[in-house]
Structure 1
Amino acid sequence: MDQQNPLDQLRPNHLPDPVGLWPPAMGWWLVAVIVIALLVLVTVSIRRRWQKNRYRSEALHQARQILADYQVHQSLHRLANESNELLKRVALHAFPRAQVAGLTGDAWSQFLANTGDIPEFLHHSAFNNDRYHPEIPLMPPDGSPDKMPENVYELTRRWIKKHHA
């Protein structure tokens, strides 16, 4: 009797089709949605922060311009007045109007010192009422009038960068 092996009667094995890259599995769709959402949130957050602090960069540019103008007119009183005017505009932008608008003299110096954590404002004649009297020489706290313009600029710049509303 001719006995045949039953396994010889089977068809040869065939491999399944290879797994394609498209469409991705559900998990990859979820990962893509999460990544896109995070990118949108980070972008919105960065844009809001930039817009919120844009006034600082504009004010720093104006402070540099005030110092450059001083090189032309060489008036310490004008430098002090323009710097204070810039600081007041920045303060009005960052703080409630009722808190800032009426401040002058020592109260203004105290406000600048407190909100910027810069105590040098308290003893600087360019940031109190001395700047309104052209006959009174303006002096920084260390008493060296040669460094007055740079000192006023540096205090103005530091307050614009550091103030916290």
Structure 2
Amino acid sequence: MEPAAKLDPMTEMALRSLYDIAMPAPVSWWPQTWGWAVVAALLAFAALLVILRRIKRYRANAYRREALTLLEGVADKLRHPATRPDAIRELAEVLKRTALGAWPREEVASLSSDGWVRFLDAHEEDGTGDTLERLLDDFEYHGAEIVADLPSNVCGDLVIAARKWIEQHHVSA
């Protein structure tokens, strides 16, 4: 090994006087002024209100979820001609139960025929159309053999119209 080269005295004294680099303290993520704390509190409050409103809406729409579950069972029965007459009556019952879940009993329970169709039309944004009117005015009262012979596309249209009404009807607050 070769001996290290000798440094001149000035360089040696300069090297001895050097210190390590001083690192600054890390910057705090906590707000430095009270204004940011107020903004953070307001944002947290707004988020809490949004969460509470969504929970309230979820609970308020429980009857819709139950009606859609019942509608799936009715849709299965409508696919088979043997169970179709009972399914037509059950479909009308699901619609009435849905309305009873959303509006006061005094307003809905006594409705039938044209009044019931007008009620359904009045509480949907774009109207129920002919499909549900046909269900409520005609199919529900036909004989079992006529209902059993309905084309499957008519039954599918009934389920689609009922699902649309259940999902989209408007209940005033």
Residues in 2 aligned to 1:155 and 1:97: alpha-carbon distance in whole angstroms: 23
Residues in 2 aligned to 1:109 and 1:137: alpha-carbon distance in whole angstroms: 22
The match for 2:129 among 119, 125, 128 is 119
- Amino acid in the other structure paired with 1:134: G
- Amino acid in the other structure paired with 2:112: T
Residues in 2 aligned to 1:28 and 1:122: alpha-carbon distance in whole angstroms: 56
The match for 1:147 among 142, 148, 153 is 153
Which residue number in structure 2 is paired with residue 76 of structure 1?
Answer: 84
Residues in 2 aligned to 1:54 and 1:83: alpha-carbon distance in whole angstroms: 18
Question: 1:160: Cα distance to partner?
Answer: 0.5
Give per-residue Cα distances to partners, 1:32-51, cap 9 Å, x unaligned: 21121111111111111222
Which residue number in structure 2 is paired with residue 4 of structure 1?
Answer: none
Structure 2 residues not aligned, in runs of 5+: 1-23
Which residue number in structure 1 is paired with residue 146 of structure 2?
Answer: 137
Residues in 2 aligned to 1:82 and 1:38: alpha-carbon distance in whole angstroms: 43
Residues in 1 aligned to 2:40 and 2:108: alpha-carbon distance in whole angstroms: 48
Structure 1 residues not aligned, in runs of 5+: 1-16
The match for 1:107 among 87, 112, 115 is 115
Contact 1:109–1:127 (8 Å) recurs in 2: yes
Q: Secondary structure at the match of 1:154?
A: helix
**Inter-CA distance 90–104: structure 2 relative to 1 (3 Å threshold):** same
Mark the structure with the bigger radius of gyration: 2
Which residue number in structure 2 is paired with residue 32 of structure 1?
Answer: 40
TM-score, scaled to structure 1: 0.72
Question: 1:52: Cα distance to partner?
Answer: 1.6
Q: Percent identity over the alignment?
A: 28
Contact 1:63–1:153 (8 Å) recurs in 2: yes
Which residue number in structure 2 is paired with residue 12 of structure 1?
Answer: none
Which residue number in structure 2 is paired with residue 128 of structure 1?
Answer: 137
Contact 1:106–1:122 (8 Å) recurs in 2: no
- C-alpha RMSD of the superposition: 2.8
**Inter-CA distance 146–40: structure 2 relative to 1 (3 Å threshold):** closer
Runs of 4+ in 1 over 6 A off after TM superposition: 17-20
Which residue number in structure 2 is paired with residue 14 of structure 1?
Answer: none
Residues in 2 aligned to 1:162 and 1:18: alpha-carbon distance in whole angstroms: 58
The match for 1:98 among 96, 101, 106 is 106
